[in-house]
Copies of this chain bind each other. A is one copy, B any other.
Amino acid sequence: MFSRVKEFFLFVGVLMLAWPSFVFSEKQVLSDSTTECIDCHITATPGIVADWRKSRMANISPAEALTKDKLSRRISADKIPEKLSGVSVGCYECHGLNSDSHKDTYEHNGFTIHTVVSPLDCATCHAAEVKEYGENIMSQAYGNLMNNPVHKMLVDEINGTPTFDGTHIGLKPHDKATDAESCLYCHGTIIEVKGTETRDTDLGEMTFPVLSGWPNQGVGRINPDGSKGSCSSCHARHQFSIKLARQPYTCSECHKGPDVPAYKVYSVSKHGNIFSSHGKEWDFNAVPWIIGEHFNSPTCATCHISLVTDADGEIIAERSHRMNDRLAHRLFGIFSTAHPKSPDTTIIKNKLGLPIPTEVTGEPVAEYLIDQEEQGRREDKMKRTCLACHSKTWVDNQFIRMHKVIAETNDKTLTATKILASAWEKGAAKGLSFKQGLKIEDSIFDETIEKMWVEQWLFFANSTRYASAMAGADYGVFANGRWYMNKNIQEMADLLESKLNTMK
C-alpha cells in the first residue's frame, strides 16, 4: 500500500514540475509567419527557438499585456498595431518590423526581414523605455568615445601595435575590426551593410546581407536603421529576460574592469553579499518589484532603473531607462564632476577647446553640467530607495562621505597632473605644449609617465569613487584604490626626477 501512495505522490510531483510548460504552450498563439520561421529554425537554430519559447514575449500577446493594471504593465505603448496585437511576439513580429527603414532588410524564403532588431523596433510596444534610453548617456557611447579627439587618441594608443626599430617605439595604426573586438564591444559598433553574399545552406542557395561591425550588442551601437543602442545589451538574446537585466552579472559585462569596477565594488559590499547569499530566493521577474517581498537588497537595477514599490503599491522609485535620472555626479572621468546636461558629451568645450568637462586644473566647465539644484533633485531621487531600508542619518552620512571621496580623489589626480605638466614643461615628456597657449603637440597617452597618469584617474581614482558610491569601501583601499593612487604619485615623481637627471 505504501508503495502505491509513493507512486501517487511521485505522479503529483512530476505533474507539478511539468506544469509551467503546459501553461506556457497553451498561451502561445503564433502568427502564420512566425510559425513558418520556426518550422525551419527549430532545426537550423534550435537553441534560439528554445530560448524564445521560455520568454514572456512568446507566452503573452500584446493585447493581453495591455489588460494589466498600470503598475504591473510591462509595455508602455498605449496602442499596439492591430496585426501584432493578438499574437505572441515571435520571430517575424520583430525581424519583420519597419522593413523600409532597415538597410539590412533582405528577402528570406518569401519574407522581408532584417537581422538587427533595433530600439526603434522595440519601441512599437516599449515606447517610453526607448525614448528614455535615447536620453541616457549610454545611448551615446559610440560617439562619446570615437568622436571625442582626446578619447580617440587614447583608443589609438591602446589598439595600435607598438613597433621597435632598435631605439624608438613607433605605433602601427589599427583598424575598425580591432576596435570592434575591444572598446566597441561595450560602446557599440557601427553596423553597416557591405553588400550581399550567397551561400549554400541545408535549404538550398540563399542570399544574406554582409554586415560590418557585426556581431555586436554594445550599449551605443549604431544600427542599420540609424537608431542608437541595443536593447539586448541587457535583455539578452531571445528570452529578453527582466530577470537577467535585474541581476548584476549583466552590468558586469562592461562594468567590471579597472576603469569602471562597479560590479567588483558591489560584490564586496553588504548589498552584494546579501544578493549573493539570499538572491536565489528572490523573485526577479515580478513587476512591480516590491522591496522586502521580492528582494531584500538592491541590485544595480534597483537603484538605477526599476520600478520599485512597497507592499501597498506605494512607488519608491519610478522605472526609468534614462539611467542618469538619479545620478547627480559623473564618477568616471579625469576629474569627477556634476553630471553633464546632454547625453552627447562631445558638445562640451573647455578652454583648450576639448570636449572634456574640466580644465587641466580640474575646474568644471559649468555651463555643460547640471547645476546644484538639479544635482540635489537627482540625489533625492536616489536616496528614496536607500530610505526604504535605512534611516535618514545613515543615508545622508553615506552621501557626505561620497562627496568627500570625490573631492579627495580629484585632489590626488590634480597632484599627478601637476607632475605630468612639469614633465611636459621641462621637456621630460612631450604632450601638451605650454609655449604659445596650451596645445596638444604630441599624444598625451604614449609615454610611460603619461600612461601612469592615465592609471591615476582611469583606474585608481575611479575605483575609489565607485567604492564609496556603492558602499564597498574595502575595494577602495588596496584592491585598486588609495594605496595605488599614492604609490603611483611617488613613482611618477621618481620617474620625472630620473628623466631630468638623465637630461642634465
Which residues in A have some Cβ–Cβ distance to B below 8 Å?
Answer: 6, 9-10, 12-13, 15-16, 19, 22, 43, 45-51, 53-54, 115, 157-164, 166, 168-169, 172, 174, 177-178, 180-183, 185-186, 199, 208, 210-211, 214-215, 217, 236-237, 239, 241, 243-244, 247, 249-250, 252-254, 256-259, 267-270, 272-274, 276-278, 280, 291-293, 296-297, 310-312, 314, 316, 387-394, 397-398, 400-401, 404-405, 408, 411-412, 415, 418-419, 422, 446-448, 451, 458-459, 468, 472-479, 481-483, 486-487, 489-491, 493-494, 498, 501-502
Contact = CB atoms under 8 A, between A and B. Distances in A.
Contacts of A45: 387-391
Given A46-B314, A164-B493, 11 more contacts: A6-B22, A48-B388, A49-B292, A163-B415, A177-B404, A178-B405, A181-B405, A183-B477, A257-B475, A259-B478, A448-B487
A51 B294 CA distance: 10
A389 B13 CA distance: 32
A451 B491 CA distance: 10
A27 to B, nearest CB: 14
B237 A270 contact: yes
B169 A490 contact: yes
B389 A237 contact: yes
Contact of A412 (B162, B181, B404): B162
Contact of A258 (B237, B243, B479): B479
Given A47-B388, A476-B181, A486-B157, A280 B280 contact: yes
Contacts of A398: 215
Nearest to A182: B477
B241 A277 contact: yes
A47 B296 contact: yes
Contacts of A494: 448
Nearest to A472: B253
A48 B268 contact: no
B162 A390 contact: no
A490 B161 CA distance: 11
A-B pairs with lowest CB-CB distance, top 6: A50-B292, A47-B389, A185-B473, A46-B310, A249-B276, A47-B388
Contact of A489 (B162, B390, B408, B489): B162
B490 A447 contact: yes
B292 A46 contact: yes
B412 A161 contact: yes
A41 B464 CA distance: 34
Contacts of A250: 273, 277
Contact of A253 (B180, B268, B412, B458): B268
Contact of A158 (B47, B237, B253, B483): B483
Contacts of A22: 6
A397 B215 contact: yes
Contacts of A392: 199, 208
Contacts of A393: 115, 208, 210-211, 214
Contacts of A159: 482
B422 A164 contact: yes
B6 A12 contact: no
A51 B389 contact: yes
Contacts of A489: 162, 164, 169
A419 B388 contact: no
A476 B182 contact: yes
Contacts of A389: 45, 47-48, 51, 237
B270 A217 contact: yes
A442 B186 CA distance: 44
9 contacts: A9-B15, A46-B311, A46-B388, A48-B390, A158-B477, A215-B390, A237-B270, A243-B278, A256-B268
Contacts of A199: 392
A391 to B, nearest CB: 7
Given A46-B292, A477-B183, A394 B214 contact: yes
A217 B389 CA distance: 15
A268 B502 CA distance: 44
Nearest to A410: B161
Contacts of A502: 498, 501
A219 to B, nearest CB: 12
A19 B9 contact: yes
A412 B157 CA distance: 13
Which of A241, A270, A404 neighbours the largest number of chain B CB atoms within 10 Å of its CB?
A270
A161 B411 contact: yes
A162 B486 contact: yes
Given A161-B412, A199-B392, A214-B393, A479 B256 contact: yes
A479 B257 contact: yes
Contact of A482 (B19, B182, B267): B182
